[in-house]
Amino acid sequence: MKGKNSSAMQKFWNFLASVKLSFFLLLILAAMSILGTVIPQNEHASVYINHFGQAHGGFILALGLDDMYHTSWFLTLMAALGANLVVCSLDRLPKTLKIIKKDPNEEINRKRKADETLSIEAGAQETAEKAAALLKVKLGKVFQNTRPEDQARLLFAQKGAWSRFGVYGVHFSILIIFAGAVVGSIWGFSGRVNISQGATVSSISLNNGKPHKLGFSVRLDKTQTTYYQKHKNMPSEYRSDVTFLKKDQEAANAVLRVNHPAEFEGIVFYLSTIGESPQKLLVKFTRDGKTQEVSLLHRRWTDLPGGGKAGVMEFRKHIHMGKMYSGPFARIAYLPGNNEKPVVLPAFKGKGMPSKGPVEFDIVEAKTAPYSGFSVKYDPGVWFIWVGCTLMVLGFFVTFYSSHKKMWIRVIPKGDDSCRVEICASANKNKIGVKRLAQKLAQALK
């Protein structure tokens, strides 16, 4: 019974140490990452239903593909690959250590086929000393011995044994990166917040829609859009001036621009949008041929005549679509009933633009205030990832640009004033390079 358990454990260990398992897991993770790039992440459920349809959108939401990198099954795949790397490394490490720690005095007597053979008109002692000096320059410390049967001088040197650890450095770096991803997934967060000019907020809306308190407050002091002189409708810069407050006291000021974020207490704020926030948006609401005027609020539901609800998700004071349209624009969330999923509909001013959907909204007028939209992110695992990436680069450099080189030289006396020299070379990588080194040594000894 004990033997069967041992055999089963060995099979399981060999399975975890399999390169085929590594390839399979990497292939699955790569495929899932492509899906995570193709499928928009962290959008409202209605976006997936509208874009992919009821069946495919529901499938995406059911599998968590809308927030794939935080799903339990994706983290499980990462953990499986991590376990595979650990077992694979532990399985091969004893062999690597045995090679590295091998006694040079054992290596010196190892019989190998000569790569270079030459006859030299000089004494064996003199030739051995010259060979040892050359070998020391190329590979470092030289070990010497004498073969009793023919008084041959044996020389051995090696360099770069530590380079065999390069692959383990790469494996360890991947584990560190995985650890950073898990730390960021569990203890980090990302979300969004819109702040009207002059307003102060102390919480944000996470990507899953839940509120999250920051532990401090953010005040939007000023928002500004600069346009090109020759192209009046083309923005050249978006800018938002903010103040971070701690216990109602100003703690720091920052200027945010696109691709120029600000950080406070480890939380990073990215400027994502600037616009006009509608305090009230007066629209014409058309359903079943009947049109009525309704005032909608920003990010708040308003009951509609005849049932259903609507709210303004986004408003822009002016957009330019060439000859098709130029004027205000809004994205309005429409909820037909309590048990139905909301849909997002566009709204323009006037009847020039085509509309699709169960109802139609036309903008009449808007009472607005300037606002800035920020993407907010806190990732405590980011330093793990930086350290892991740095270690990975070093590991790849060691793995691909260095090798464990070994060189044997046998100086066999043929008389008092002549000898035969045999040079053997070996390396775990770049075998051509170490053969050339053997040729150079042979040329130098002639």
- Domain CATH for 109: 3.30.310.220
Q: Is residue 338 part of a domain?
A: yes
| Shared domain check, 112 and 90 | no
290 and 324, same domain (yes or no): yes
Q: Can you tell me which residue has the tokens 């480890």? A: 266
138 located within any domain: yes
Domain co-membership, 112 together with 80 = no
Q: Residue 228's pLDDT is what?
A: 84
Instruction: Check whether residue 21 and residue 72 sit in a common domain.
Output: yes
Position 2 pLDDT exceeds 60: no
pLDDT at position 247 over 60: yes
| 379 vs 228 pLDDT, higher one | 379
Tell me, yes or no, whether 166 lies in a domain: no
Domain count within the chain: 3
pLDDT band at 38 (very low <50, low <70, confident <90, very high): confident
Mean residue pLDDT of the chain comes to 89
Q: Do 297 and 338 share a domain, yes or no?
A: yes
pLDDT at 442: 93
Considering the domain architecture, whether residues 352 and 291 belong to the same structural domain is answered as yes
Residue 77, token pair as written in the block? 């795949």
Chain segment 256-297, per-residue pLDDT in tens: 999 999 999 999 999 998 887 777 899 999 988 899 999 998
Whether residue 246 contacts residue 334, with contact meaning beta carbons closer than 8 Å, is answered with no
The residue among 55, 71, 94 that closes a domain is: 94
The answer on pLDDT for 213 being more than 70 is: yes
Is residue 183 assigned to a domain? no
Confidence of residue 325 (pLDDT cuts 50, 70, 90): confident
410 & 348 share domain = no
- Alpha carbon separation from 11 to 5, 8, 16, 78, 111 (Å, rounded): 10, 5, 9, 22, 36
Cα–Cα distance for residue pair 43/36, rounded to 1 Å? 12
- High-pLDDT (> 70) share of the chain, %: 98
Examine the pLDDT at 174 and tell me if it is beyond 70: yes
- 34 falls within a domain: yes
Report pLDDT for 256: 95
Query: Residue 11's pLDDT band (boundaries 50, 70, 90)?
Result: confident
The whole-number pLDDT of residue 310 equals: 92
21: in domain: yes
Identify the domain boundary among 316, 350, 370: 370
Q: Say if residue 365 is in the same domain as residue 283.
A: yes
Average pLDDT over residues 156-178: 93
Residue 3 banded pLDDT, cuts 50, 70, 90: low
8 A C-beta contact, residue 310 and residue 389:
no
pLDDT score, position 4: 59
227 inside domain: no
| Structural contact between residues 128 and 154, judged by C-beta atoms closer than 8 angstroms | no
Per residue in 135-161, pLDDT (tens digit) is 999 999 999 999 988 889 999 999 999
What pTM, to 2 d.p., does this model score? 0.69
Of 67, 94, 121, which marks where a domain is finished? 94
> Residue 253 falls within a domain, yes or no?
no
Judge if 13 and 85 occupy the same domain: yes
State both tokens at 107.
């290596």
What pLDDT shows up at residue 69?
82
The residue segments making up the domain with residue 335 are: 277-370
Q: Are residues 86 and 109 in the same domain?
A: no
Same domain? 9 vs 88: yes
Contacts with 243 (C-beta within 8 Å, 6 or more apart), sequence order: 218, 219, 221, 250, 252, 253, 254
Query: Structure tokens of 431?
Result: 């075998």
**pLDDT tens for residues 91-138?**
999 999 999 998 888 889 888 899 999 999 999 999 999 999 999 999
Considering the domain architecture, whether residues 296 and 324 belong to the same structural domain is answered as yes
Residues 196-202 have a mean pLDDT of 92
Confidence of residue 416 (pLDDT cuts 50, 70, 90): confident
State the Cα–Cα distance between residues 342 and 334, nearest whole angstrom. Answer: 5
Which carries the bigger pLDDT value, residue 70 or residue 399? 399
Q: In 247-358, which ranges are E strands?
A: 249-257, 262-264, 267-287, 290-296, 302-303, 309-320, 326-335, 343-348
